[in-house]
Amino acid sequence: MLRVAVIQTCATNDRVRNHDEVARLLRQAASDRPGLIALPENWAWIGPDDEKLAQIETEEGPSICLLKELAREAQSWIMGGTVLMPGPADESRAYNTAIVISPAGEVTATYQKVHLFDVEVPGGAILNETKLVAPGEDVVVAPAGDLQLGLSVCYDLRFSWLYRELAHRGANMLCVPAAFTVPTGSLHWEVLLRARAIESLCYVVAPAQTGRHSPTRKSWGHSMIVDPYGGIIAQRPEGVGVVMADLDLERVSTLRKNMPVLDHDRGPRSWEVTR
């Protein structure tokens, strides 16, 4: 059995405040000794576009150093949501980067968000992520103790081929740190998470942003942990806090043996083919 904690936050453009909130919640989660603690997308900062590039940091920056310190303190793996990290050589865009940190406080894997969110929601948010963020190029499965973490971020959730590829590469848990908008989240978030779990026969861990970040931006929340058969094990609909569950990792291998959908898959199985 493996205990997993998922943290739900409401980030703003005050990075110090966001750091303090995540440190408090992560220490709260660590008191129950989880093997993995997962954070949402953009946990360190959400704010206006004209301030975005100023938030870029390296592995030695304040946000990642905080997570390293907290991982050592908790003696837990941390799936560190996403942080803006240096992008392509022209320096005009960042990578929206998911991070995995070991209990020793070392960054063991990173994943740059592949699918970027350029959408105008009627009556809702207008987001143009590609303006300041570059798409990643790699599919990443990150070892974390007994876990094989299939990394993804938010809008990636709509592209099922990515999760099938992660499952074929050995993932037994899919991580989906997110900041879903309210209009799309209310209709699609739960459905898509459960579908990704069912089709890949993986646990899905989905830490999310919640509430109002600014007068013009609000997130759906509903952080959850989903069973590889599609059942919701734990969920926090609204509000900042922690949701936790004990997972049986043998369930993944048992279900894949009893329902060998990955063995029967005849679709494209290569990132190079699919993209």
Q: What are 42-83's pLDDT values in tens digits?
A: 999 999 999 999 999 999 999 999 999 999 999 999 999 999
pLDDT tens digits, 101-133: 999 999 999 999 999 999 876 766 678 899 999
Out of 113, 165, 175, 218, pick the active-site residue.
113
Out of 41, 57, 129, 165, pick the active-site residue.
41
The arithmetic mean of pLDDT across residues 34-45, rounded, is 98
- Whether 100 has a pLDDT exceeding 80, the answer reads yes
CB 201 within 8 Å of CB 228: yes
Q: What is the DSSP string of 14-67?
A: -HHHHHHHHHHHHHHHHTT--SEEE--TTTT----GGGGGGG---TTSHHHHHH
Average pLDDT, the chain: 95
Confidence of residue 272 (pLDDT cuts 50, 70, 90): low
Nearest CA-CA partner of 116 in 153, 146, 90: 153
Domain boundaries, the chain: 2-274
CA pair distance 178, 115, nearest whole angstrom: 12
Out of 10, 154, 175, 202, pick the active-site residue.
154
Nearest CA-CA partner of 244 in 200, 195, 207, 197: 207
Confidence of residue 12 (pLDDT cuts 50, 70, 90): very high
The fourth-level CATH superfamily of domain 2-274 is Carbon-nitrogen hydrolase (3.60.110.10)
| 257 has catalytic annotation | no
pLDDT tens digits, 25-35: 999 999 999 99
Which pLDDT belongs to residue 121? 67
Whether pTM > 0.85 for this model: the answer is: yes
Share of the chain above pLDDT 70, in %: 96
Confidence of residue 270 (pLDDT cuts 50, 70, 90): low
